[in-house]
Amino acid sequence: MSSKRNVVSIEDRIPKLKQARKKKANRRLIFYLSLFFFLISIIVYLQSPLSHIHSIKVEGNEYLTDEEIVKKSGLKEGDSFWNVNKEKIVDQIVANKVVKVVNVSKQFPTTVTISVEEFQRVGYVKESDAQFFPVLENGERLSVEPLGQIPGDAPLLIGFNKATYLSEMTRELRNSPKSIVDLISEIYWKPTDDNPYKILLYMNDGFVVNGTIRNFSKNMKAYPSIASQIEPGSKGVIHIGVGAFFDPVDGEAAEKKKKEEETTNEAEG
């Protein structure tokens, strides 16, 4: 029994081959045209204002103004959004001694945000003309408009006319518990031949503390315990160093000593 086969003639196959080739060519043409117009769109976008920075935001700053930070960054509205060099911007802003940490982020399509963390304010220094300037935790004195009086959120640092000792003192304050720093009213640097790190502290509770810059943050942790054991209303000097003890003195004598310290430092200023 013979089987019949469907035989397709060459004349029938040629139109189908032509049609398949035509479809393949059309698909290829559409692909290349799409790619061409896509690239053209990118070029047009990059050359148009749509790809430029329209807004620069600054966050976290307290001492430096938005304008100062933007100027330091080197960014300008109208710069290319895609050419923002984050590492370079960070390096340029951190060069300012007030700034501790910088983070730069981009929000599509046209916004750049600069987030900064500044060094904390740990004290104030007093100039001879009764003006006060904030001092940061890294020992940097802010060259801002001087204050006529201090807000009371940090102690007054008096007599620190050498940057090395001021820097060490501010570092110790930074490492001290805030609850203890809040108890300090004034800190006088009173170096001696034997101890160039000697300081006198006048506390908000009326006591005077005789101490040293070195290990200040560690030694002052004992202050609340010592002060709590002293009879309320007592005046005296608490010595904190290798050991810790209370030396009762007449209240008027302590106040007189403080006034002498103020007069001496004003004369030195």
How far is residue 134 CA from its own chain's centroid? 15
DSSP 153-188: SS-EEES--SHHHHHHHHHHHHTS-HHHHTTEEEEE
Name the residue range of residue 93's domain. Answer: 52-118
User: How many domains does one find in the chain?
Assistant: 2
Looking up residue 139, the CATH number of its domain turns out to be 3.40.50.10960
| Own/partner pairs, 224-230, CB within 8 angstroms, 24+ separation | 224/179, 224/180, 224/183, 227/203
Neighbours of 32 (CB within 10 A): 10
Do residues 79 and 127 both lie within one domain? no
How many residues appear in the chain? Answer: 269
How far is residue 103 CA from its own chain's centroid? 10
Do residues 108 and 148 both lie within one domain? no
Q: Is the preceding omega at residue 109 within 30 degrees of 0, hence cis?
A: yes
Q: Residues 106, 81: contact at Cβ < 8 Å?
A: yes
Looking up residue 64, the CATH number of its domain turns out to be 3.10.20.310
Q: Residues 101, 116: contact at Cβ < 8 Å?
A: yes
pLDDT at site 267: 58
Quote the CA–CA distance of 160 and 174 in Å, as a whole number: 17
Q: What is the pLDDT of residues 66-103, one digit of tens each?
A: 999 999 999 999 999 989 999 999 999 999 888 999 99
Closest CA to 140 of 201, 95, 192: 95
Q: What is the pLDDT of residues 127-177, one digit of tens each?
A: 766 778 889 988 888 876 666 667 778 999 999 989 899 999 999 999 999
pTM of the model: 0.67
Closest CA to 204 of 187, 221, 229, 222: 187
Do residues 185 and 214 both lie within one domain? yes
DSSP state of 83: G
Do residues 142 and 101 both lie within one domain? no
Do residues 81 and 140 both lie within one domain? no
Q: What is the pLDDT of residues 182-227, one digit of tens each?
A: 999 999 999 999 999 999 999 998 889 999 999 999 999 999 998 8
